[in-house]
Structure 1
Amino acid sequence: MKALLIDLEGTLYFKNRPITGAKEAIAHVKDLGIPLRFLTNTDSKTPKDMEKKLQQMGFDITEAEIFTPVTAMLRFFQKQDSKNGYFLVSSALQKVVAPYAVEQTSADYVVVGDFRDQMNYQVLNKAFQHIMAGAEIIALQKGKYFIRENGYNLDTGSFVQMLEYASNKEAYVLGKPSKQYFSLALDELGVTAEETAVVGDDQTTDILGAEGVGATGILVKTGKYAEVNGSQVKVEPNKVIDSISQLPLILKDI
């Protein structure tokens, strides 16, 4: 393998606590000189915010190594010609999306992320009105739920599906497991999918995304895997390991 794409939540940490051996495993891989990107579907924070969180946990991971749906969204809009959007995103992202945002005038896109700190009927209905007026739906990701210390919580995909159902439109997905998301991360590293392994705890995002681009998929039995007990299998991984701590031991075999 010439590069690794490694999931964050559920793989390096879970319920805001580092997984045993994760910090040491990442340090070992970095010592080997293998290029890395850390992938996440977290869509409420900027990569800089994620860097701060990871470093507080003790991980030696920088903003430049973190690839999020927010990264993909900004690249998407930077490539558009004078396109704008109505954004259902967190307060932490309001400044980031401001150059592309509209409120009352017609929007080209309705972008749906984690907006639980901004959510009410009015903003949801305004998004729906933009869609019915012709705006396309962009989902930062389509996860159904996430797991925290308080248990299961509704994720972005639940609200995306509501808008899809009401409007009879299908959302364009920027986050995992979309092929575009993984392709952008591979482009950053300058490697092909065949030279890359994707490591994660979620078969429906990490392993499915790996298969979609032709990369090797390595499933860890932590995070979501441990919670759902492997019952939501969508695609078979190439390898299964107990946790990220075992990754350095199998690198020579993949």
Structure 2
Amino acid sequence: MSWLKRPVKGLLLDISGVLRDGDHVIPGSLEAVQRLQASGIPFRLVTNETQVTVEKTVEKLTKLGFTGICPSSIFAPAPAVAAHLRENSLRGYLLVHPNVLPQFEGVETTEPNCVVVGDAAEHFNYERLNQAFRVLLSLRDKEEPMRLFSLGKGRYYKEEDGLCLDLGPFTAALEYATGAQAQIFGKPNATFFQAALKDLSLSPEEVVMIGDDIVGDVGGAQGAGLRGVLVRTGKFRASDENHDTVKPDAIVDNLSQAVELIMNQNL
């Protein structure tokens, strides 16, 4: 197990597909998190969840039994892009789920000069996509930058009733139609991982990312200099084990197995 030859001083964990599937705890994950908390090994939760606020994510995890998790330990794209808009006085057309709008408090939305795309789920419709398209084209016509911000670029995610289209395909549609290049604020963007590393006060080679997304979690983490471990839970598919471009540092059955291996190695 070459991935454990270097000490693991910190962890980044995905939420959906690693800790939970929908409203159900993935077997062993609750105990694995409790074991990490007792061990003192620091970890942060990094998620592309953009249908609810960070506070609601904590609330949901708490109801599932994950205690001791606070909003500051969760890194999600919406707060990051909202801060970027406020810091740069940008006015956004927010193509996001209504549940996440509280994260954009203080962001001006009249006469938008940028578009923000999140996982709007059932709120993705032709009218809203077409309005985002028109905003970007109007910026081009005024010879202004076509600022398109995407809260991730995942292909799909898993809910209890099966796989669902993520926001990546919708982002790609706007890119194709306008020629704009989206700036990604979630996984697999390296800056997203670096923010969590900074909060841990650890270097990339000291940290392991554990996720169920071969590209967003594993590939993104490796691109930022971390070790990436793939779990066979969540949206994992057998074909991920032989991905064309991303080669995980390790593949484990679940979070519980990964934590067990790390604990044994750190003894």
The answer, yes or no, to whether TM exceeds 0.5 is: yes
Alpha-carbon distance in 2 for matches of 1:58, 1:66: 16
Cα contact 1:203–1:233 (8 A) shared by 2: no
**What is the one-letter code of the residue matched to 1:62?**
C
Q: Give the Å deviation of 1:228.
A: 5.5
Residue aligning to 1:153: 164
Q: Which residue of 1 aligns with 2:134?
A: 129
1:90–1:113 CA contact under 8 A, matched in 2:
yes
Aligned to 2:19: 12
1:3 aligns with 2:41: no
Partner of residue 42, structure 1: 49
SS at match of 1:223: coil
Q: Which runs of 4+ in 1 moved over 6 A?
A: none
* AA at the equivalent of 1:123: R
Measured in 2, the distance between the counterparts of 1:84 and 1:114 equals 19
SS at match of 1:170: coil
Which of these residues, 66, 75, 85, is aligned with residue 77 of structure 1?
85
Indicate the larger mover: 161-170 or 61-70. 61-70
Q: Of the candidates 221, 241, 244, which is equivalent to residue 252 of structure 2?
A: 241
Out of 176, 184, 187, the position equivalent to 1:165 is 176
CA–CA distance in structure 1, aligned partners of residues 70 and 85 of structure 2: 24
Count of aligned pairs between the two proteins: 251
Gapped regions of structure 2 (runs ≥ 5): 1-7, 140-145
CA contact (8 A) 1:203 1:234 kept: no
Question: 1:248: Cα distance to partner?
Answer: 2.7
Q: How does 1:219-230 map to 2 (within 5 A)?
A: 219-226=230-237, 230=241
Instruction: Check conservation: 1:91, 1:117, Cα contact below 8 A.
Output: no
Asked if the contact 2:17–2:158 (Cα under 8 Å) also holds between the matched residues in 1, the reply is no
1:74 Cα offset (Å): 2.7
Task: Report if the CA contact (8 A) 2:13-2:46 is conserved.
Answer: yes
- Of 112-121 and 48-57, deviating more is 112-121
RMSD of the TM alignment (CA)? 1.8
Matches of 2:100 and 2:50, distance apart in 1:
9
* CA distance in 1: counterparts of 2:109 and 2:91, whole angstroms: 7
Give the 3-state SS of the residue equivalent to 1:133 in structure 2: helix
Rounded Cα–Cα distance in structure 1 between residues aligned with 2:259 and 2:128: 46
Structure 1 position 117, deviation (Å): 4.3
- After superposition, the C-alpha distances for 1:6-35 in whole angstroms (9 at most, x for unaligned) are 011111112431111111111111111111
Give, in whole Å, the separation in 2 of the partners of 1:217 and 1:224: 16
- 1:31 is aligned to 2:38: yes
User: Conserved in 1, the CA contact under 8 Å of 2:53 and 2:102?
Assistant: no
- Cα distance, 1:4 vs. partner? 0.6
Amino acid at match of 2:161: N
Q: 3-state SS of the aligned residue for 2:258?
A: helix
Contiguous gaps of at least 5 residues in structure 1 = none
2:94 is matched with 87
Question: 2:95 touches 2:117 (CA, 8 Å); kept in 1?
Answer: yes
Deviations 1:157-215 (A, max 9, x none): 11111111100121111110101110111112221111111011111111111111111
Normalising by the residue count of structure 1, what TM-score does the alignment of the two structures yield? 0.92
Contact 1:86/1:101 (<8 A) preserved = no
1:253 aligns with 2:258: no
What is the TM-score normalised by the length of structure 2? 0.87
Aligned to 1:207: 218
2-structure distance, mates of 1:4, 1:66: 12
